[in-house]
Amino acid sequence: MSSVKTRFSGFGQAVREKAGNDAAAGEPRPSSSGAGVHKPGAALAGIVNSVNERVSEVERRLAEAGAENDDLKAELSRLRALQAAHPEEDRRRLLFLTPDRVVDLLPRDRSDAAFAGQQFQDLLDDVATHGQNDAITVRAAPDGMFEIAAGRRRLEVCRRLGCEVLARVRDLDDGAMLRIQYSENERRADVSPVDRARWFASVRERVKGTSKQLAAQFGIDPSTLSLYFRLARFPSEVLERLVDPGKLSMLPARRIMEAYESDEPAVMARMLAALDGLSKAHGVHVDAAAQVDAILRAAENNGGQKPKASPSPGRRHVVHGHRRIGTLNRNGRHWIFRFATDVSDDEVQALTTRLEAPTDSAEVSANVVSGGTEPKQRGTEKEGRAA
């Protein structure tokens, strides 16, 4: 594994150089030279399973059949649709690879639950019936192998079906590999905050640089990254018992960690007992949302006694959609909400309008102020835009 750490040292340098700059918009552009750059040109030479060549092969087989063959016709139609969806240059980078030629050296970003359950079965059934139309992203690696950046569930589906996986080969350096991996999961609703937190913790172990520099590389707020590092310590014993860890959203996970850090042995025992109780009552039909609710109540319930105060009871970062939108502060009997500097004036006005709506105020209070009584008075102001 030492070779992996050495290979990622180039990304650490990139993080330090990029700190202070705005995160690049859109899909990352890889550098064309330097350490950590993998070029597919040499690896592609002699490979005869590109999309273009597969079309020619299926056309030949269909002509040799000398009769109607619905399966070959369907495959040819799918391949031609892939050709039509990509320019000629891109088609030459679309390859059919056997899954054993694809390795995964990046930090683990998904729990085992992502490769089981109904959603994964639906994906497997769809690929088995209609074929794989969305390519995974890889870069060429030594000895004719390929390293995956995005598409791990599709790769696992093809592995289980015993079929080739459609892959797009790109010139990617180490930093681009990590950014693509992060970007893919950022678009998925089923990736739990704890999975993402553990991924960030693994990245931090591989690269050098401060948390602020790492946050700048991935375009997130440093306080959000700090929260992820905290969530990375979420107890595995509890997470592994959840039927769907994706149901554990940011706010409940953060509240559980606040309670857990105050008294780890006692809180752990209560959460495991709550999960045992649900399993005994419902067996294999236990509800994922009910599990999350049960461990949250168990974590914050201290035998009827008042829970221990969190380290910062009067200050809380408010995160929505993995983006910090502001900070809630207590000033005496008043609560003041300070919006983050990247929240636009239009967004501030829209949220203020919602807060003024009588039908929404209770809901907003419940979502923003967790585990306490409703504030008697609130104020809002924009944080100063310091240079």
Same domain, residue pair 137 and 253:
no
- For 226-257, the pLDDT digits (tens) are 999 999 999 999 998 998 888 898 889 999 99
For residue 375, being part of any structural domain is answered with yes
281 and 364 in a single domain? The answer is no
Residue 174 and residue 269 in one domain: no
Residue among 16, 181, 208, 158 at smallest CA distance from 107: 181
Residue 55: the pLDDT is 80
Give a yes or no: residue 307 inside a domain.
no
Confidence of residue 330 (pLDDT cuts 50, 70, 90): low
User: In whole angstroms, what is the distance from residue 119 CA to residue 288 CA?
Assistant: 14
Give CA–CA dist 358/210, Å, rounded: 44
Same-domain pairing of 275 and 204: yes
| CATH code where residue 251 lies | 1.10.10.2830
State whether 245 and 289 are in the same domain: yes
For the stretch 48-107, pLDDT in tens is 477 777 787 777 777 777 667 777 777 777 777 777 777 776 777 888 899 999 999 998
pLDDT of residue 312: 46
Say whether both 116 and 161 belong to one domain. Answer: yes
Domain boundary, last residue among 186, 216, 235: 186
250 and 232 together in one domain: yes
16: in domain: no
Which of 300, 328, 343 terminates a domain? The answer is 300
Whether residue 182 sits in one domain with residue 49: yes
pLDDT in tens, 273-294: 999 999 998 887 889 899 999 9
Domain of residue 45 covers 33-186
pLDDT interval class at 310 (50, 70, 90): very low
For the stretch 158-170, pLDDT in tens is: 999 999 899 999 9
Is residue 9 one of the residues assigned to a domain?
no
Tokens of 334: 């008043």
Statement to judge: residues 205 and 273 lie in one domain: yes
pLDDT, tens digit, 9 for 90 and up, residues 172-210:
998 889 989 888 877 776 678 898 899 999 898 887 778
Please tell me the distance from the alpha carbon of residue 14 to that of residue 24, in angstroms, as a whole number. Answer: 13
Q: What is the CATH number of the domain that holds 156?
A: 3.90.1530.10
Is residue 26 a part of any domain in this protein?
no
How many structural domains are present in the chain?
3
- Domain-located, residue 349: yes
Check whether residue 59 and residue 131 sit in a common domain: yes
- Is residue 306 in some structural domain? no
Residue 89 lies in a domain: yes
Distances from the Cα of 255 to the Cα of 91, 268, 313, 316, 360, angstroms: 48, 14, 12, 11, 23
115 band by pLDDT with thresholds 50, 70 and 90 = confident
Instruction: Please choose, from the candidates 214, 210, 232, the residue with its C-alpha nearest in 3D space to the C-alpha of residue 178.
Output: 214
Domain edge (last residue) among 186, 207, 234:
186
| Residue 163 buriedness (CB in 10 A; 0-12 / 13-18 / 19+) | middle
The proportion of the chain whose per-residue pLDDT surpasses 70, expressed as a percent, equals 71
Same domain, 129 and 273: no
Q: Are residues 167 and 254 in the same domain?
A: no
